[in-house]
Amino acid sequence: MLGLRWNCSASPPSSRFALCFTKSSSSFALIPAPLRAFRASCWSQCSRSPNLVELEYADLNLKDFYGAGCQVGHVRIRQHVNPLSSSFVAPVKVPEWKQVFSNPSLPLMVDIGCGSGRFLIWLAKHFPESRNYLGLEIRNKLVQRSQFWVKELGLKNIHFMFANATISFEHLVPAYPGPLTLVSILCPDPHFKKRHHKRRVVQKSLVDSVVKNLSLGGQVILQSDVLDVALDMRDQFDARADVLKHIDALDANFTCDAQGWLLENPMGIRTEREIHAELEGAKIYKRMYQKV
């Protein structure tokens, strides 16, 4: 499985990072200290999280598509959606993959609850030859905007779908021609009240479907800024220790704190929620598994 490696000088330009692939790692590589220090110096000059989001994703130039007539700028959406609503119980139609991706045989990454889509678009733009990228999101306005951005950027290796992942993942992924090599569930809706925990995206049925469809050596990345949600996700994936091993047990490049949470972001880019949470002083709890 191909991994991501950063190749940067001590003082890289603000929106151009040299990236390359290597077969020396089975996972996403950690960001080196010079790049972390450079980003920190930039972030210190921006005190509002929207500014930090724009900085993090500056090289996508998405602001170019915010102008009059685009109708895709800052959309108003409901923060939380009830996935058990009758409008979300039917699985989505499987697309014609050869119409969605220019090469549907490439390994697939699925981002469950992809939100605005910037995170996945960044990966698709910077690493076009390694994978196809599929974003599943339950808020349709965000999907429409993400697809508009994909079209404007001319990307042929990424697609967003309006879908309830708990229902549709098992329906979609087995129909994909290539292998499933990476699944990410990053800062999902917390649904704090105990009676609403059944609305959380990580349920046993989804975990079992991810494990079943993930290729050997494939990986799962989980993260949340809410400890209770992170623990819930961790416990459910830990329950499949028969086939899933935490990444620090397989790769010495990944280290954890005393509670078993990853100390570094393995993805090379932060999600919008991650940016907002860190600005507020919250800890981001991360786990990463590999199928063995």
Domain boundaries, the chain: 3-291
Q: For strand 108-112 and strand 180-186, is the pairing parallel, antiparallel, or unpaired?
A: parallel
pLDDT higher than 50, residue 39: yes
Give the per-residue pLDDT at 287.
98
pTM, 2 dp:
0.80
Active site residue 251: no
Task: List, in sequence order, the alpha helices (H) in 214-292.
Answer: 227-238, 272-279
Backbone φ and ψ of 173, nearest 5°: -65, -40
Q: What is the CATH number of domain 3-291?
A: 3.40.50.150
3-state secondary structure of 199: helix
Q: What residue type is assigned to position 96 of the chain?
A: E
CA distance 240 to 124: 29
> Out of 20-24, 237-241, 277-281, which region has the weakest mean confidence (pLDDT)?
20-24
- What residues are paired with 219 via a beta bridge? 182, 290
pLDDT tops 50 at residue 160: yes
What pLDDT, on a 0 to 100 scale, did the predictor assign at position 198? Answer: 79
* Residue 82 scores a pLDDT above 50: yes
Q: Which of 111, 189, 232, 251 is catalytic?
A: 189
Is the pLDDT at 62 greater than 70, yes or no? yes
Residues 179-193: pLDDT tens digits?
Answer: 999 999 999 988 777
Q: Is residue 227 over pLDDT 80?
A: yes
Helix axes 272-279, 49-56, angle to 10 degrees: 140
**Whole-number Å distance between alpha carbons of 94 and 198:** 26
Q: Which letter does DSSP use for residue 256 in this model?
A: B
